[in-house]
Amino acid sequence: MKFWIDENIPRQLGKAIRQAGYETHITPRGIDDLIILKRAIEVNAVIVTRDKDFEQYVLREGRSCSGIIWLLPTPKSEREELAKVLLQVIEDNKLILNTSFITLSLDTVGIKRLK
């Protein structure tokens, strides 16, 4: 399983995904969101982001993607706990990650299947 880590994701979270044994691609600063969508599809990677624009592109406009995990704002002091929740959601949903838009916070997991 591959993940495309957006530039707005704290390093601690990207590192947790990588340490769990998953391949990660890190977005360079300043890359346009639509380019991220395209590149993630090319490598079949799930995008992990805090950028609300992906909700617009994927859910409202119906643009293609290889799955999105949209992280809602979380206090810095709770990032370690969020990393645990994130890894558990990845593990529990491996079979549908590439066809889902997942909204995630410490107390919310919303999964919308994509067409």
Tens of pLDDT, residues 1-40: 999 999 999 999 999 999 999 999 999 899 999 999 999 9
CATH topology of domain 2-113: Rossmann fold (3.40.50)
Summarised one tens digit per residue, pLDDT across range 63-101 is: 999 999 999 999 999 999 999 999 999 999 999 999 999
Cβ atoms within 10 Å of 24's Cβ, excluding its own: 18
Placement of tokens 């997991």 in the chain: 109
- pTM attached to this predicted model: 0.95
Whole-number pLDDT of residue 40: 95
> Does the pLDDT of residue 61 top 80, yes or no?
yes
Q: Edge-to-edge strands of the sheet including 100-104?
A: 23-26, 2-5, 45-49, 68-71, 100-104, 109-113
CA–CA separation, 27 vs 43, rounded Å? 13
Phi and psi of 53, rounded to 5°? -60, -30
CA 82 to chain centre: 13
Q: Radius of gyration over alpha carbons of the chain, in Å? A: 13
Whole-number pLDDT of residue 115: 74
Q: Where are the domains of the chain?
A: 2-113
